[in-house]
Amino acid sequence: MIRSDAEPKARGALEYGTDLEAPGMLWAALVRSPIAHGRIVRMDLSPARKMPGVVAVVGPEDLRTLLPKAALEAERPVFPLDEIRYRGEPVAAVAAETLEQARRAAATIEPEVESLRVDARIEDIFPEWPSPAAAKDPRVVGHVHARFGDVDAKFRSAELVHSETYRTSGVHQVAIEPHACLAEVRNGTFHIRSSTQTPFGLRDDVASILGIPESRLVVEGTWVGGGFGGKGAAFLEPYAVLLAIASGRPVKLSLTFEEEFELGRTTLPSIIRLDTAVHRGRIVARRVRLLLDTGASLPGRDFAVGYSIGFLLGPYRTTAYEIEGFALQTNKPPFGPHRAPFAPQSVFALESHIDGLARRLGVDPIEFRKLHAWREGDRTAYDQPVGPIGLEAGLEAAARTAGEWRAGLPSGHGIGVAAGFWSTGVGAGGEARLWLRPDGLTILEGEREIGNGSVVQGLALVAERVLGLPVEAIRVEYGDTATAPFDSGVFGSRTLGALGQAVEKAARSLANTLATRAGAQTVQLEMKNDRVLVVAGRRRQKLVDLLTPEERAAGGIEAHGKHYGSERKIDASRVVTGTVYPYQDFTAAVHLAEVEVDRETGHVRVVRYAAFQDVGKAVDSASVTGQVEGGVVMGLGTALSEEMLWTPEARLANPGLLDYRLPRIRDVPPIHVEAIEGFAGAGPFGAKGLGEPPIIPVPAAVANAVADATGTRVYELPMTPERVARALKLL
Amino acid sequence: MSDGPLTLTINGKPQQFERVPDAERLLDTLRWRAGLKGTKEGCRTGGCGACTVLVNGEPTLSCLVLSHEVSGENVTTIEGVAAEKVGRIVIRAFAEAGAVQCGYCTPGFVVALAGQLQGDGTPPSVASLLDGLEGNLCRCTGYRAIQKAVVAAREALK
Ligand code: FES
Ligand code: FES
């Protein structure tokens, strides 16, 4: 089935954030800090104000007069009021008649700065592994420590202890569409149009940053040219709003790719230490320690570390464990979500470690995982119940395929397996409004399709299944935050699971109303000559005939559905310090990679790939394939080539596509995609979200294949030819 | 010369623009002067292919071309490609193969592929068509569906 947005997108007919335009619009440019850490001693904005075409220039001082409340909101300042925290941090913004004029004026503003000591890397803060007392260092912005069971005793009595350290790098979402938004003030209301994954979240975020009441802010999403987590929270919008207030005109702000990279809120480097105690062939205790670079952190960075660290325990039964994580503030741009935030990195470390351990024990890596893998009814490390999960089934399917591959494996090739779990965010709430009209069904939503199909295709398919109406007769319409029903946004692989349930409920209530009116138990809808027919048993009647006079006047019948998840509980007695975050609605992914390693250059070629994805119940198999293939290839970038490189002064050395290498069309191997069904999720019909899971095991699967091919393990991402060659002692 | 007039034949129609700065890129002339926003703006540094158009039938990165450099030439954008047979076939193939997710890269891919498939005679081999798409990045699909679309479009034109 062809997605309704496919051809219009391919023809270039849809409007994205970068395409936004308004009559009388000005173009904006940002003035960015030339240093990574310091103070602004003086910044003269007046010459820029006199530049040709310039209409407004705003800096920290203007903030105080334009929006005094925003200036007081010190936690997330629009402009640094005191300290500059990373290189490229916006310190002022300009709006002019043309983009060229805005950029030229911005370039004339050269703040006089006083530099402070720069922390560029984790090692700058902690050259040695920190003791718990190190949490007092002001650069530790998050500290989490949890334990369960008699860890020390089990380590002491274990037959074998496997200890390793892994390192991961910063990677960027690199949506092909840069961030872009347009802000204007209409009758005292602030209107923002933006390429965003979360219109409602953006509204609340901008309101809090600028100190504007939410009721005076309206956000309308455009089509999104790739999000991957990077288009969630407020980013450019506050600057555009400020300039719109200062100039009295609509203001468009979009980023260059250099700015995308330098301002990027994305995955930053980490160091991970894993110790595992084994007794009688089984894991009996584990220690997991994480140092996570969270950059020029915003408040709440304990979330980054507290959420990430659980992925280091993996989807395995754990009898005794201790975890400790530190979120470290450096002078890089802030950490931010990037498709399954930090899970591919965690899983790279954990699944490399488990694989190496299995090899050390001389047991089959898949069998070793199966010994410990979560099954329904198990409890997580925080004592949450594990629901239906297709992990064992995935491992078994992978074992079969691995056996086939192994049979004809050329020398120099290797096969690697890796498993991962994900917590799909079905708990985050959402609502849907359905309009059934005599000629079809409309689903009204506040958020746009961001690409994976969960809105434009997924929601329509849910309504189709409940009502029987063909998907061609179902339209998804998008409103703004003032008119559309609330939804949390497209993130966390939640859209189909959570919003789908809202649509399902609304569709069921429509069906029930019509059934009552038709005097039947249930009804189905069908289309005939572009008219909706209501089928009750053997009776068919036109929808119009079942509508009340009011509904006929209004043009149809409306239904509203809501889904709000309940809060998940954890066993708080296991937490010593900080916050760990509960997971929910588990899904699993098991991947298999075959690689060939060039023994001279260290170059790794992925020969073929297989992904076994727990989907609960596939709502649309084409979308499953598309999500998995896309996730796998993005993961191959993380595994092999993508790496943000910072200098000791915390300057990003490769802020562009030239030196930050993404997978290209000739790089991708054949990818076998297999949906594992039968382990129902919380979504409609048992569906599970799958925007993020397919990227999670990829770096680990490739790393394990490299180890299988060479007998040597690579302990750092990405596995560039240079790193592999060094591991093979070729360099 | 500075801020001079510019003539381009865009999708078969000659168009005149007044006072176009010397440094203006073709991408911007097309999007903001001609109002043809189907050509997408990505990296602006030649790295992503989202801005691909045909200049005299040749796939070209419009972010790397100064508008005055191609003064008087024939420029075909996605809007023009979509109106012709080859373009329609390519678009259909992308839609059917599930090769369109966020869709931001798609017009660039369609133009780059249609440009190679235009003209009479046997279409180029799949390998050479894929080579011609090495400069187009897609972050959503993982390229497998795009490869299928390439094969299907080529078949349909054989
Ligand atoms: S915008 Fe032209 S190649 Fe990226
Ligand atoms: S479909 Fe999103 S970049 Fe290709």
CATH 3.40.50.970 corresponds to the domain B81-157: no
Asked whether the predicted pLDDT for residue A297 surpasses 80, the reply is no
The pLDDT value recorded for residue A73 is: 58
Instruction: Kindly state whether A633 is in contact with chain B, defined as any CB-CB distance less than 8 angstroms.
Output: yes
Q: What is the mean pLDDT of residues A80-109?
A: 95
Backbone angles phi, psi at A468, to 5 degrees: 85, -5
Domain with CATH 3.10.20.30 in chain B: 3-78
A65 band by pLDDT with thresholds 50, 70 and 90? confident
Average pLDDT over every residue of A458-479 = 93
Q: Are strands B13-20 and A26-32 parallel, antiparallel or unpaired?
A: unpaired
CATH topology of domain A270-425+571-727: Aldehyde Oxidoreductase; domain 4 (3.30.365)
Tokens of residue A307, six digits: 């959420």
At residue B94, does pLDDT exceed 60? yes
Distance A658 CA to ligand 1 centre (A): 12
Give the pLDDT score at A482. Answer: 93
Q: Do domains A6-116+179-254 and A430-563 have the same CATH topology?
A: no
pLDDT reading at B2 higher than 70: no
Which residue ranges does chain B devote to CATH 1.10.150.120?
81-157
CB A188 within 8 A of CB A414: no
Q: Is the pLDDT of residue A75 over 70?
A: no
- On chain A, the residues whose CB falls within 8 A of the CB of B94 are 6, 10
* The one-letter amino acid at A487: D
Peptide linkage before A127 cis (omega within 30 of 0): no
Q: How does pLDDT run across A24-62, given as a tens digit for each residue? A: 999 999 999 999 999 999 999 999 999 999 999 999 888
The per-residue pLDDT of chain A, averaged, comes to 93
The model's confidence at residue A731, banded by pLDDT at 50, 70 and 90, is: confident
Query: Which residues of A fall within a CB distance of 8 Å from B92?
Result: 7
Distance CA(B79)–CA(B111), nearest Å, equals 10
- Segment A337-351, tens digit of pLDDT: 898 889 999 999 999
Separation of B49 CA from ligand 1 center, angstroms?
5
Our answer to whether residue A177 is catalytic in this structure is: no
Provide CATH code, domain B3-78. 3.10.20.30
**Does A378 have pLDDT greater than 60?**
yes
Q: Average pLDDT in the A442-452 region? A: 84
Distance from C-alpha of A194 to C-alpha of A717, rounded to nearest angstrom: 33
Interface test with B, best of A25, A176, A179, A257 (most B CBs within 10 A): A176
Within 10 A of A213 (CB to CB), how many other CB atoms are there? 8
Active-site option among A392, A449, A692, A716: A692
The least confident of A293-307, A538-552, B49-63 is A293-307
> How far is residue A295's CA from residue A87's CA, in Å, rounded to a whole number?
11
Weakest mean pLDDT among A170-174, A623-627, A658-662: A623-627
* Gap from B86 CA to chain A (nearest CA, Å): 13
Is residue A492 within 8 Å of A429, Cβ to Cβ?
Answer: no
Q: What is the pLDDT of residues A579-619, one digit of tens each?
A: 888 888 899 999 999 999 999 999 999 999 999 999 998 88
Q: What is the mean pLDDT of residues A376-389?
A: 94
pLDDT at A156: 97
A724: amino acid identity, one letter: V
Say yes or no to pLDDT of A104 above 90: yes
**What is the spatial distance between Cα A715 and Cα A693, in angstroms, rounded to a whole number?**
22
Instruction: Give the pLDDT score at A581.
Output: 85
pLDDT of the residue at B1:
45
Are A656 and A695 contacting, i.e. CB atoms less than 8 angstroms apart?
A: no
* Structural contact between residues A716 and A620, judged by C-beta atoms closer than 8 angstroms: no
Determine the pLDDT at residue A448: 79
Report the pLDDT value the prediction gives residue A413, as an integer from 0 to 100. 98
Cα angle for residues A43, A45, A49 (degrees, 5° grid): 170
Q: What is the CATH number of domain A430-563?
A: 3.30.365.10
Which pLDDT belongs to residue A427? 60
Atom nearest to B99 CA in ligand 2 = 1
Q: What is the dihedral of CA A330, A336, A340, A342, to 10 degrees?
A: 0
pLDDT band at A426 (very low <50, low <70, confident <90, very high): low
Domain segments of chain A: what residues?
Answer: 6-116+179-254, 270-425+571-727, 430-563
Beta-carbon separation of B107 and A12 below 8 A: yes
Per-residue exposure over A397-429, b if at least 16 CB sit within 10 Å of its own CB, e if not: bbbebbeebeeeeeeebbbbbbbbbbbbbbbbb
The CATH superfamily of A6-116+179-254 is Aldehyde oxidase/xanthine dehydrogenase, a/b hammerhead (3.90.1170.50)
Rounded Cα distance, A382 and A625, in Å: 33
For residue A181, the model assigns a pLDDT of 98
pTM of the shown model? 0.96
